[in-house]
């Protein structure tokens, strides 16, 4: 009792001077605040989530993840599948009260295609040949090739024509600080602490449940969970695996699965010796105890190929090779290396490489240090370099200037690995080339029979596991966390806020 | 005399501008040598990247970019942010941040000097555990001190809230909400950590001992005059010197303190700008910070000379 | 000092009174925690078997004739019932989606299997539609079987007359009658038909296998009475006649036993919060009041979390039966122990993953259903067929979409 009185007295001055905080809307955390609020220039998931709050597309997912109309009332597809007419819902309004019209749809498509706009989303409309406004509420689209289900590709966000001078939109356009959308929320203000406040769009179709949303920048992921427990936040988009148990036991928080079909890997630069030798790559993979690497990071599953284990494309006949230093030694010797000095050497040069990791990849420091330690115990010298976003984009994406990288890929439910593994893939950083893999990816892309696609990608798993362009590590369990004060929550598995207008605050 | 004064002022101004230009050049070189650039953060599409590089002049030599920037800056145009807040004028971003940082730096100076003076007064000439305690506390790095205090206050408050002893304070939880407590915490951490308070205490203690041994003090003591005001007056010049030196130290500490405590000042803004390769913003901050440091030194010199005009004739 | 302040103990908020939580003292959890000897007596006949029951180690319990073995058989029966429902739903969705997208593959046995699945689920009208579409199948026996089944009420076996598929249907019906699945369960783990198409194979598993397995395990389960009937189960207590008496425990606590009219996930979450608001203080009190031995039982066996998970699983199954998959999804998600989310454990029963899979499937989250099925596939080979089928559906649903990937 005395202790409690003392403690209360110690803080009573603080508590009395500072008035209790008033009730607030929903506050959610992002690692980095969005730099720009304009769907034409989205590059990060943080920006994509804000777009989901502010803007609407012609179509969207419903709660059963089926394509459903958003701005569209009804549509008709021509028999030859080369055109369609879309009728917009009547009485739709932008945040500034102006009506949403067919001209806005046409403008958006033209702006995305305008070369001078330099939009990062230009590829999303490359299949549309022409867009015309038949009348104020009707748009006609013609396509470059027949489209069986064009509505599946009409999710991109629509922009207001009246907010821009022309279809050439600049990143520095005033729209970025005063965006006008037709989504459930409007941007109220950018705050001094890098947070952003949103208020409901008064005429949003279907209404909006929560009176205010605030995006807070909390760059320390370890601290995000703490803030949720302190009730200084109401939502975390992704919870660190090690925080799951703590949050689960807290009755003021509920966890929602937010699996993003993601897997970690160590990727080699196949254009550099000795990584151009599959024996060296295989040997290195066998010198790594992946289970031991995973243990401090969180719960997950070790993988043998480029899909998560629950994927229909995962080939369960391809085992994870496992930790096998004996076999690794044999392979290295076969590749001309010698370990008589305690370190693997070939032609007087040590087997050594630099491992690059992205600074913001959660738990990457632990993994890298443990991995370095494991390999050094087996006579392979590894130096480590953590790169920030710009350096990563430059060294890995653009220049391909690395020995090996530690990173993670996240996929939507289609799990399309073409960009990562096709010889023409834009995200094939390591320069992996396999004629058979290219064929299988083409087969998968063109398949109209799910059995055919499944068979092709399972064979791809086997081929890639054999070629070992990368060491596949694991997939982690991924969850979002929300306060129990938020009800009627449905989370979109990729965009998170698609159904936010239905959420309620108690 | 007037001509000498004018020349002295012009020389000082010239040195000031040269210093700032030098800061800008150094920053340009450092930023250019970091891997990756602003265009890398926007898109991996080669066509788009090429257009951005051209638009932002990222392919020009460092010296050329620096010259162009300097000419614009002298006209008051610090440019626009590239990646942090694309299109927003750098001055619009920097000035509010400067105001927040001035509060921290100014507060830290006042706190550290008055605290150091008080401690020096207490411990000068004595064997004191306080001296060791201050040193031990002050040697803690600012980031660690900030984190410990923040975590401790949060946990304590949370415990009392869960127990129903107190209502939720407006400042809870640190550093999420802007509050007077957060500002006080930042000022305190700056003033105390990374040996700031310890060094000020030690320096003032030495000065105090030196002054106490001066003949004029002995004379005052013999006459039975109260020594306090005279000692204080004698300390003003050293205080001004210490303040001038410490200001730059505190400005440098802003990056860590503001990032840990989530204060939107110059330090955290510089961190973001460098991370995002936002060259105009980083340069703008660097120059303003440089101006702050130079200004503090200038103010320190003026104060010293004002207090003791003999110092103006020092070799 | 601030840490000392932080260590100041907190008084709990106002607690429920002893009387208000009294119904929970009737549960089997309280019974064995307060009287560990009764627990020891209940499991004495097959201690090892009961460990398996507690750990949901259903595979090792197979063929065990003790009370524990029969409890395991009952759990297996329930699991196979779940899998049969998932399979029936997946077949319908696969057939409809495929036909709507590009028309059924020519000469394929696909419509026969879709029809057979509907027939075995008791939906004769749907079955008839699909079985008639199978009249274009390349295989004679498929065509013949489709024609025969289209005119036969579900549950009745048409005369096989040497037709391979009708013989198989006959074997299932016989097996269900005598409670012996024989090797019919293999049809759930290995394909019963490999259909060759352009450069690839379509693999079809037996849509009737899980129902037959369920019947066989149910026959092996028999009836268990007394404390052994409720140990580690969602049934909180027994009435005087030995029947499950959930009402007398939950209703006084304000917890409804009904599924409700609307499929609202929030209703399920509210129910769980109300349950936790009662269970948490009661569990703490129980922990303080029982003997050391009772406390050991509570902690080592994780009795309260396991009981909670079983109750929520039961609610999930009830919601699914009532056609409320969103409620079921909420119950199952909240039941899962996230310390080991991919493992069957004393808290994470196999049925929980089946409920998650079914709820996700019925709410259009086909890909997420596979996450749950994967756990079961590791446990039971017979899940392989359902897993492949749902996987085929997930692939079909994604054929026309543009994939997206992000780094980190």
Give the mean pLDDT of C13-31.
Answer: 79
Q: Give the number of other Cβ atoms within 10 Å of residue B57's Cβ.
A: 13
**Is the Cβ–Cβ distance between A256 and A482 less than 8 Å?**
yes
Residues A356 and A472 occupy one common structural domain: yes
- Averaged over successive runs of 10 residues, the pLDDT of chain A (506 residues) comes to 51 44 75 80 81 95 90 95 96 95 97 83 85 96 90 92 91 81 94 86 91 88 88 90 87 87 94 95 96 88 94 95 93 94 92 91 87 95 91 89 93 89 90 97 91 96 96 91 93 90 92
Do B84 and A35 count as a contact with CB atoms less than 8 A apart?
Answer: yes
pLDDT of residue B125: 83
- Residue A216: strand pairing partners: A29
Do C339 and A245 count as a contact with CB atoms less than 8 A apart?
Answer: yes
Spatial neighbors of A158 by CB under 8 A, at least 6 apart, are A55, A56, A57, A58, A71, A100, A104, A105, A108, A182
Residues A341 and A368 occupy one common structural domain: yes
Do A391 and B178 count as a contact with CB atoms less than 8 A apart?
Answer: no
- Residue A197: strand pairing partners: A189, A214
Do B276 and A120 count as a contact with CB atoms less than 8 A apart?
Answer: no
Q: What angle (nearest 5°) sits at the alpha carbon of residue C329, between those of residues C323 and C333?
A: 155
- pLDDT of residue B44 exceeding 80, the answer is no
- pLDDT of residue B305 exceeding 80, the answer is no
Give the mean pLDDT of C321-335.
Answer: 95
pLDDT of residue A5: 52
Band (pLDDT 50/70/90 cuts) for residue C15 is: low
Q: Which regions of A347-395 does DSSP assign to beta strands (E)?
A: 349-350, 352-358, 381-387
- pLDDT of residue C10 exceeding 50, the answer is no
Q: Give the number of other Cβ atoms within 10 Å of residue A2's Cβ.
A: 6
Taking CA atoms, C326 is separated from A210, B271, C219, C255, in Å, by 22, 45, 32, 19
Do C339 and A148 count as a contact with CB atoms less than 8 A apart?
Answer: no
- What predicted TM-score, i.e. pTM, was given to this entire model? 0.86
- Residue A353 structural domain: 262-476
- Scanning B121-160 for CB atoms below 8 A from A yields 154, 156-160
Q: What angle (nearest 5°) sits at the alpha carbon of residue C179, between those of residues C178 and C180?
A: 95
Q: What angle (nearest 5°) sits at the alpha carbon of residue C307, between those of residues C306 and C312?
A: 100
pLDDT of residue A18: 42
Q: Is residue A172 part of a domain?
A: no
Residues of chain B found within 8 Å of residue A20, distances taken between Cβ atoms: 167-170
Nearest C-alpha neighbor of A8 from the set B173, B166, C3, C7: B166
Residues A34 and A84 occupy one common structural domain: no
* Spatial distance between the Cα atoms of C266 and A402, rounded to a whole number of angstroms: 49
pLDDT of residue A69: 95
Q: Give the number of other Cβ atoms within 10 Å of residue B161's Cβ.
A: 21
Residues A220 and A119 occupy one common structural domain: no
* Spatial distance between the Cα atoms of B237 and B307, rounded to a whole number of angstroms: 6
**Is the Cβ–Cβ distance between A440 and A453 less than 8 Å?**
no
Residues A316 and A419 occupy one common structural domain: yes
CATH number of the domain encompassing residue B173: 1.10.3720.10
Å from B19 to nearest chain C CA?
42
pLDDT of residue C408: 66
Q: Which regions of C270-394 does DSSP assign to beta strands (E)?
A: none
Relative orientation angle of helices B180-192 and B90-123, to the nearest 10 degrees: 60
Q: What is the pLDDT of residues C54-102, one digit of tens each?
A: 999 999 998 888 999 999 999 999 999 999 999 999 999 999 999 988 8
A394 closest CB neighbour out of B35, B87, B166: B35
The three-state (H, E, C) secondary structure of chain B, written as one string: CHHHHHHHHHHHHHHHHHHHHHHHHHHHHHHHHCCCCHHHHHCCCHHHHHHHHHHHCCCCCHHHHHHHHHHHHHCCCCCECCCCCCCCEHHHHHHHHHHHHHHHHHHHHHHHHHHHHHHHHHHCCCCCHHHHHHHHHHCCCHHHHHHHHHHHHHHHHHHHHHCCCCCCCCCCCCCCCCCHHHHHHHHHHHHHCCCHHHHHHHHHHHHHHHHHCCHHHHHHHHHCCCCHHHHHHHHHHHHHHHHHHHHHHHHHHHHHHHHHCCCCCHHHHHHHHHHCCCHHHHHHHHHHHHHHHHHHHHHHHHHHHHHCHHHHHCC
Residue A257 is inside which H or E element, if any? strand A253-257
- Residue A157: strand pairing partners: A57
**Is the Cβ–Cβ distance between C46 and C64 less than 8 Å?**
yes
Residues A141 and A39 occupy one common structural domain: no
Nearest C-alpha neighbor of C137 from the set C159, C104, C97: C104
User: What total of structural domains would you count in chain A?
Assistant: 3
CATH number of the domain encompassing residue A415: 3.10.105.10
* Spatial distance between the Cα atoms of A502 and A223, rounded to a whole number of angstroms: 28
Q: Is residue A174 part of a domain?
A: no
CA B247 to chain centre: 5
- pLDDT of residue C148 exceeding 80, the answer is yes
* Spatial distance between the Cα atoms of A328 and A288, rounded to a whole number of angstroms: 10
Q: What is the pLDDT of residues C117-144, one digit of tens each?
A: 999 999 999 999 999 999 999 999 999 9
Å from C33 to nearest chain B CA?
29
Q: Among A131, A163, A195, identify where a domain stops.
A: A163
pLDDT of residue C332: 96
pLDDT of residue C42: 92
- Residue B51 structural domain: 2-313
pLDDT of residue B99: 93
* Spatial distance between the Cα atoms of B285 and B84, rounded to a whole number of angstroms: 13
* Residue C231 DSSP one-character state: T
pLDDT of residue A413: 84
CATH number of the domain encompassing residue A194: 3.40.190.10
Nearest C-alpha neighbor of A311 from the set C87, C353, C387: C387
Interface test with A, best of C279, C338, C360, C366 (most A CBs within 10 A): C338
pLDDT of residue C361: 97
Residues A379 and A483 occupy one common structural domain: no
B33 touches chain A (CB under 8 A): no
**DSSP per-residue string spanning A190-246:** E-TTS-EEEEE-TT-TT--S-S-EEEEE---HHHHHHHHHTTS-SEESS--GGGHHH
Residues A90 and A6 occupy one common structural domain: no
Residues A134 and A220 occupy one common structural domain: no
Positive/negative CA dihedral, A246, A248, A249, A250: positive
- pLDDT of residue C197 exceeding 70, the answer is yes
Q: Give the number of other Cβ atoms within 10 Å of residue B80's Cβ.
A: 20
Residues of chain C found within 8 Å of residue B159, distances taken between Cβ atoms: 5-8, 10
* Spatial distance between the Cα atoms of B236 and B213, rounded to a whole number of angstroms: 17
Q: What is the phi/psi pair of residue B14, to 5°?
A: -60, -45
Q: Give the number of other Cβ atoms within 10 Å of residue A94's Cβ.
A: 23
* Residue C244 DSSP one-character state: B
Lowest mean pLDDT among A230-234, B299-303, C234-238, C339-343: B299-303
Do A251 and C280 count as a contact with CB atoms less than 8 A apart?
Answer: yes
**Is the Cβ–Cβ distance between B83 and B41 less than 8 Å?**
yes
Spatial neighbors of A372 by CB under 8 A, at least 6 apart, are A355, A382, A383, A384
Across chain C, mean pLDDT equals 91
Across chain B, mean pLDDT equals 87
Å from B7 to nearest chain C CA?
57
Band (pLDDT 50/70/90 cuts) for residue B38 is: confident
Share of chain B above pLDDT 70, in %: 97
- pLDDT of residue C349 exceeding 80, the answer is yes
Å from B121 to nearest chain A CA?
28
Residue of higher predicted confidence among A99 and B50:
A99
Chain C neighbours (≥3 Cβ pairs under 8 A) are A, B
**Is the Cβ–Cβ distance between A201 and A187 less than 8 Å?**
no
Share of chain B above pLDDT 90, in %: 30
**Is the Cβ–Cβ distance between A301 and A309 less than 8 Å?**
yes
**Is the Cβ–Cβ distance between A8 and B160 less than 8 Å?**
yes
Residues A36 and A92 occupy one common structural domain: no
Residue count of chain C: 408
pLDDT of residue C101: 86
pLDDT of residue A374: 96
Do B51 and A388 count as a contact with CB atoms less than 8 A apart?
Answer: no
Residues of chain B found within 8 Å of residue C3, distances taken between Cβ atoms: 152, 155-156
Do C5 and B164 count as a contact with CB atoms less than 8 A apart?
Answer: no
User: What total of structural domains would you count in chain B?
Assistant: 1
* Spatial distance between the Cα atoms of C167 and C12, rounded to a whole number of angstroms: 66
Residues of chain B found within 8 Å of residue A171, distances taken between Cβ atoms: 42, 86-87
Q: What is the pLDDT of residues C168-178, one digit of tens each?
A: 999 999 999 99
| Pair type for strands A213-217 and A26-30 | parallel
* Spatial distance between the Cα atoms of B38 and C238, rounded to a whole number of angstroms: 70
């Amino acid at each position: 009792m005395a202790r409690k009185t003392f403690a209360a007295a110690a803080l009573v001055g603080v508590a009395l001077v500072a008035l209790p905080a008033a009730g607030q809307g929903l506050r959610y955390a992002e690692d980095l605040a969005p730099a720009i609020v304009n769907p034409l220039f989205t590059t990060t998931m943080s920006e994509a989530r804000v777009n989901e709050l502010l803007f609407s597309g012609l179509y969207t997912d419903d709660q059963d993840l089926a394509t459903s109309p958003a701005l569209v009332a009804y549509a008709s597809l021509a028999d030859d599948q080369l055109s369609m007419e879309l009728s917009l819902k009547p009485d739709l309004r932008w945040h500034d009260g102006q009506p949403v019209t067919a001209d806005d749809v046409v403008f958006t498509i033209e702006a995305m295609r305008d070369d001078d706009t330099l939009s990062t989303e230009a590829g999303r409309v490359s299949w549309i040949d022409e867009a015309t406004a038949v009348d104020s509420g009707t748009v006609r689209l013609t396509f470059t090739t027949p489209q069986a289900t064009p509505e599946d590709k009409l999710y991109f966000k629509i922009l207001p024509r009246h907010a821009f001078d022309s279809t050439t939109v600049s990143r520095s356009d005033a729209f970025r600080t005063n965006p006008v959308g037709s989504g459930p929320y409007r941007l109220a203000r950018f705050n001094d602490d890098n947070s952003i406040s949103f208020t409901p769009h008064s005429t949003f179709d279907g209404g909006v449940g929560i009176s205010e949303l605030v995006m807070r920048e909390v760059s320390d992921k370890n601290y995000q969970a703490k803030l949720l427990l302190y009730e200084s936040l109401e939502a975390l988009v992704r919870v660190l695996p090690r925080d799951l148990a703590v949050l689960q036991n807290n009755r003021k928080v509920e966890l929602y699965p937010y699996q993003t079909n993601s897997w970690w890997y160590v990727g080699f630069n196949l254009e550099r010796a000795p990584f151009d030798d599959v024996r060296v790559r295989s040997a290195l993979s066998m010198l790594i105890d992946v289970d031991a690497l995973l243990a401090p990071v969180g719960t997950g599953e070790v993988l043998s190929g480029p899909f998560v284990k629950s994927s229909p494309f995962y080939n369960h006949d391809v085992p994870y090779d496992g930790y096998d230093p004996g076999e690794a030694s044999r392979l290295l010797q076969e590749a001309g290396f010698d370990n008589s000095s305690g370190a693997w050497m070939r032609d007087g040069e040590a087997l050594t490489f630099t491992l690059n990791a992205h600074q913001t990849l959660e738990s990457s420091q632990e993994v890298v240090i443990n991995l370095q330690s494991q390999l050094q115990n087996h006579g392979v010298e590894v130096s480590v370099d953590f790169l920030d976003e710009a350096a990563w984009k430059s060294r890995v994406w653009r220049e391909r200037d690395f020995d090996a990288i530690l990173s993670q890929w996240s996929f939507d439910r289609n799990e399309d690995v073409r960009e990562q593994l096709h010889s023409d893939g834009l995200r094939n950083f390591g320069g992996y080339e396999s004629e058979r893999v290219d064929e299988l990816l083409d087969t998968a892309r063109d398949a109209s029979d799910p059995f055919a696609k499944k068979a092709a990608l399972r064979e791809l798993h086997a081929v890639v596991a054999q070629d070992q362009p990368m060491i596949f590590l694991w997939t982690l369990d991924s969850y979002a966390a929300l306060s129990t004060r938020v009800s009627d929550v449905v989370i979109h598995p990729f965009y998170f806020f698609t159904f936010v207008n239905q959420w309620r605050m108690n | 005399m007037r001509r000498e004064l004018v020349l002295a002022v012009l020389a000082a101004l010239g040195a000031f501008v040269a210093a700032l230009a030098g800061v800008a050049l150094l920053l340009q070189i450092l930023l250019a040598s970091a891997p990756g650039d602003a265009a890398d953060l926007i898109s991996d599409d080669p066509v788009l990247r090429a257009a951005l590089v051209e638009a932002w002049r990222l392919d020009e030599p460092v010296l050329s970019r620096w010259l162009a920037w300097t000419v614009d800056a002298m006209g008051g145009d610090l440019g626009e942010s590239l990646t942090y807040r694309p299109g927003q004028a750098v001055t619009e971003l920097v000035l509010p941040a400067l105001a927040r940082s001035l509060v921290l730096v100014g507060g830290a100076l006042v706190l550290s000097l008055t605290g150091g003076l008080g401690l020096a007064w207490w411990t000068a000439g004595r064997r004191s555990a306080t001296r060791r305690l201050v040193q031990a506390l002050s040697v803690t790095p600012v980031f660690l001190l900030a984190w410990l205090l923040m975590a401790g206050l949060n946990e304590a408050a949370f415990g009392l809230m869960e127990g129903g002893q107190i209502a939720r304070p407006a400042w809870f939880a640190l550093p999420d909400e802007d509050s007077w407590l957060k500002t006080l915490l930042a000022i305190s951490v700056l003033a105390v950590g990374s040996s700031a308070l310890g060094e000020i205490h030690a320096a003032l203690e030495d000065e105090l001992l030196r002054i106490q041994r001066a003949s004029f003090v002995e004379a005052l003591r013999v006459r039975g005059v109260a020594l306090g005001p005279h000692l204080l007056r004698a300390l003003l010049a050293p205080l001004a010197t210490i303040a001038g030196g410490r200001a730059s130290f505190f400005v440098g500490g802003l990056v860590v303190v503001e990032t840990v405590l989530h204060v939107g000042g110059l330090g955290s803004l510089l961190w973001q700008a460098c991370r995002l390769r936002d060259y105009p913003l980083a340069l703008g901050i660097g120059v303003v910070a440089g101006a702050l440091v130079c200004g503090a030194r200038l103010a320190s010199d003026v104060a010293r000379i004002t207090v003791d005009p003999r110092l103006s004739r020092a070799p | 000092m601030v840490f000392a302040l932080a260590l100041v103990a907190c008084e709990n908020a106002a607690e429920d009174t002893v009387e208000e939580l009294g119904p929970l003292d009737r549960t089997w959890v309280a019974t064995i925690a307060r009287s560990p000897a009764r627990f020891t007596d209940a499991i004495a006949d097959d201690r090892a078997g009961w460990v398996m029951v507690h750990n949901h180690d259903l595979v090792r319990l197979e063929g065990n004739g003790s009370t524990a073995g029969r409890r395991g058989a009952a759990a297996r029966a329930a699991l196979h019932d779940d899998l049969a429902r998932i399979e029936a739903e997946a077949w319908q969705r696969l057939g409809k989606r495929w036909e709507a997208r590009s028309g059924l593959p020519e000469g394929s046995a696909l419509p026969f299997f879709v029809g057979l699945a509907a027939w075995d689920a008791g939906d004769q009208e749907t079955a008839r539609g699909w079985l008639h579409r199978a009249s274009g199948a390349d295989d004679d026996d498929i065509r013949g079987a489709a024609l025969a089944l289209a005119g036969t009420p579900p549950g009745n076996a048409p005369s096989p007359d040497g037709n391979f598929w009708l013989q198989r249907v006959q074997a299932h019906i016989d097996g269900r009658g005598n409670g012996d699945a024989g090797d019919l369960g293999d049809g759930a783990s290995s394909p019963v038909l490999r259909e060759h198409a352009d450069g690839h194979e379509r693999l079809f598993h037996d849509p009737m296998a899980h129902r037959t397995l369920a019947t066989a395990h149910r026959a092996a389960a028999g009836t268990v009475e007394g404390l052994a009937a409720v140990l580690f189960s969602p049934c909180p207590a027994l009435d005087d006649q030995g029947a499950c008496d959930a009402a007398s425990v939950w209703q006084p606590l304000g917890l409804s036993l009904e599924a409700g009219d609307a499929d609202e996930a929030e209703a399920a979450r509210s129910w769980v919060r109300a349950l936790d608001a009662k269970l948490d203080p009661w569990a703490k009190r129980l922990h303080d009041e029982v003997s050391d031995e009772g406390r050991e039982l509570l902690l080592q066996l994780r009795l309260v979390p396991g009981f909670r998970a079983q109750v929520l699983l039961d609610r999930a199954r009830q919601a699914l039966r009532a056609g409320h998959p969103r409620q079921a999804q909420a119950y199952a998600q909240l039941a899962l122990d996230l310390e080991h989310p991919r493992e069957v454990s004393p808290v994470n029963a196999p049925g929980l993953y089946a409920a998650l899979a079914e709820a996700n499937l019925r709410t259009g989250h086909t890909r997420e259903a596979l996450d749950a099925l994967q756990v079961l596939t590791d446990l039971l080979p017979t899940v392989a067929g359902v897993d492949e089928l749902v996987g085929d559906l997930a692939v079909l649903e994604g054929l026309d979409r543009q994939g997206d990937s992000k780094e980190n």
